Amino acid sequence: MEHHPPKRSRLPPDARRWIRVGVFTGAILLGLPLFPMIWNALSGKFPVFCQMAAILLLPVGLLALIIGICKVAGKQNRSVGVLVALICVGFGILMHYATMTPLEQFHAVEYTILAALVYRAPAPGTGRRSRCRIALIYSFGMGILDEAIQYVLPNRVFDPRDIWLNWTAGGFGVLLSVLVLGRIRQSTGRWRPTRGGDDRYHRVGCPVHGIVSR
């Protein structure tokens, strides 16, 4: 019986990551007119369920995030888990007082995920600072586009405050990405930044500095 080698994707990994960013961005924009209609329909039929969902959405989501990050980071990175938990609690308190509707909380979660996806999207060898800049600029631009679309939608309300709220959520996603991915890479010994700059990486244990990861 012949064994055929698995087919490899023709797209490089960074291209696939940018495709995920594009798909998730499209889902956010598509949800602008649809999500309020779905939420209002559910609220009319299941008011108690929707009230409980509105109360538990943020804390349960943050708890799941903390558990997931702690599992990924491993027992050797307990300090990261504690720091992530404190940051998540602070972010949860901020969102609790800054948001007024479940839609805004859900939107904040979307922008947290979006910023994390954008942070991971650039090609290997892109430095931490560059990734942060790309993710923050993308989140801010997306927030402006988001509110511009809401301005013309009859079932949404334009609010400049939401731009900064979404950008804050994006910054939260970037911060988590920096903490978790940076610590995981250091603990596994995969890649570390070179002394020559933030945009160059070399493999740990390699005697030649400045080798760009591929």
Q: How much is the mean pLDDT over the chain?
A: 78
Which amino acid is residue 106, in one-letter code?
F
* Per-residue pLDDT tens digits for 158-186: 888 889 999 999 999 999 888 877 666 66
d(CA 22, CA 37): 24
Distance CA 123, CA 18 (A): 10
Provide the pLDDT for residue 197: 42
Count of all residues that appear for the chain in the document: 214
- Are 143 and 114 in contact, with CB atoms under 8 Å apart? no
Residue type, 200: R
Report which of 115, 107, 157, 108 is spatially closest to residue 136, judged by C-alpha positions: 115
Predicted TM-score of the model (pTM): 0.76
* Residue 211 clears pLDDT 80, i.e. is over it: no
Per-residue pLDDT for 114 more than 80? yes
Higher pLDDT, 130 or 200: 130
The mean-pLDDT minimum among 76-80, 135-139, 175-179 falls in 76-80
